């Protein structure tokens, strides 16, 4: 059976013999469109296909051979999922599961990783960034930082004091296609906040905690170095490195990046708001 989802304005078809139970976060992204930009064929088997020797990259083991990339996503110490695709033409990919791993790997928490969705969307001009995503006056603002710095706190402050809407508490999709958009995605870490909404991207705000509030715009290499660690991609394959670089250059030429040193109170909102208004973001 096939299920179609709309992510980052792209149609994703998951083709599997069955789907294990309800997937509530993904359900709101189900689409009536029956033509796919990306089709993921899912196979459940006791044995995975043989693959070349891979290298460890974050949570994945990645192997590149010829025009194929193999990305293995383990389930603890046992096989979880193996995705095979061709960079540059990710309109079709294959993901293999074991009978034991399939219902777990297709859960809403892991599904995007198990099918290597971040890599597949990269060649459709989209990628994912670790951020709390809010909308203000029709524009998206992304608060990005390592875990524990205060992304959710700043998003909540904007919701409380400026009636902003929190779209996702932990992740956002970025689509770079002429204009730049921030897109809701069906995975949100532990935040529980996940909405299927898309807005023009107004700014990316990199956070660090401080005893007083200050903000400045990052330019060029400084902006690149700030944004890059928060993107959900590895760069094992050369084609993926080049494609990601092109998208980020286009992103940074269109969207301002700010560094906000902040306190967990309304003063941080006021400081950032002034900078965003000065730059015409909101």
Q: What is the pTM of this model?
A: 0.94
Q: What DSSP string runs through 190-213?
A: TS--B---EEEEEEEEEEEE-SS-
Give the model's pLDDT for residue 58: 86
* Segments forming the whole domain that contains residue 179: 127-278
Tokens standing for 117? 């969705």
> pLDDT-derived band of residue 21, with 50, 70 and 90 as boundaries?
low
Place of tokens 């170095």: 225
Rg (CA), the chain: 19
pLDDT digits (tens, 9 = 90+) for 249-263: 999 999 999 999 999
Compute the distance between CA of residue 43 and CA of residue 186 in angstroms, rounded to an integer.
Answer: 22
Q: Please name the residue that has the structure tokens 């859960």.
A: 107
Q: Are residues 157 and 113 in the same domain?
A: no
Domain boundary among 97, 124, 151: 124
Whether residues 266 and 172 share a domain: the answer is yes
Same domain, 262 and 148: yes
State what percent of residues in the chain have pLDDT above 70: 99
Please check whether residues 100 and 56 belong to one and the same domain.
Answer: yes
In this prediction, residues 164-186 reach a mean pLDDT of: 97
Segment 220-244 shows an average pLDDT of: 91
pLDDT of residue 170: 95
Tens-digit pLDDT profile for residues 51-85? 999 999 888 999 999 999 999 999 888 889 999 99
Q: How confident is the model at residue 235, as a pLDDT? A: 81
Q: What's the mean pLDDT in 165-177? A: 97
Taking 70 as the threshold, does the pLDDT of residue 44 lie above it? yes
**Are 119 and 149 within one domain?**
no
Residues 211-237: what's their mean pLDDT? Answer: 93
**Domain stop point among 124, 149, 169:** 124
Of 98, 124, 150, which one is at a domain's C-terminal end? 124
**60 and 163 inside one domain:** no
- Examine the domain organization and report whether 80 and 28 are in the same domain: yes
pLDDT, mean of residues 154-176 = 97
Same domain, 40 and 167: no
pLDDT value, residue 109? 81
Do 85 and 152 belong to one domain? no
């Amino acid at each position: 059976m096939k299920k179609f989802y709309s992510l980052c304005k792209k149609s994703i078809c998951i083709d599997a013999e069955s789907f294990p139970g309800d997937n509530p976060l993904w359900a709101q992204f189900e689409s009536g469109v029956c033509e796919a930009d990306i089709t993921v064929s899912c196979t459940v088997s006791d044995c995975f296909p043989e693959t070349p020797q891979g290298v460890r990259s974050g949570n994945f083991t990645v192997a590149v051979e010829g025009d194929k990339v193999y990305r293995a996503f383990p389930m603890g110490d046992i096989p979880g999922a193996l995705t095979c695709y061709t960079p540059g033409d990710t309109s079709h990919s294959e993901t293999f599961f074991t009978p034991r791993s399939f219902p777990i790997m297709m859960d809403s928490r892991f599904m995007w990783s198990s099918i290597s969705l971040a890599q597949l969307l990269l060649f459709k001009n989209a990628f994912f960034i670790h951020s709390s995503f809010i909308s203000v006056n029709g524009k998206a603002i992304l608060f990005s930082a390592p875990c524990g710095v205060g992304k959710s706190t700043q998003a909540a402050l904007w919701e409380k004091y400026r009636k902003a809407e929190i779209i996702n508490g932990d992740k956002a999709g970025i689509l770079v296609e002429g204009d730049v958009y921030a897109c809701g995605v069906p995975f949100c870490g532990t935040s529980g906040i996940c909405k299927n909404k898309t807005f023009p991207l107004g700014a990316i705000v990199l956070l660090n905690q401080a005893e007083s509030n200050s903000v400045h715009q990052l330019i060029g290499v400084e902006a690149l170095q700030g944004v890059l660690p928060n993107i959900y991609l590895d760069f094992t394959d050369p084609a993926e490195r080049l494609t990601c670089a092109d998208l980020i250059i286009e992103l940074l030429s269109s969207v301002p990046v700010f560094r906000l040193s902040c306190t967990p109170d309304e003063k941080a909102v006021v400081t950032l708001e002034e900078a965003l208004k000065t730059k015409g973001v909101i």
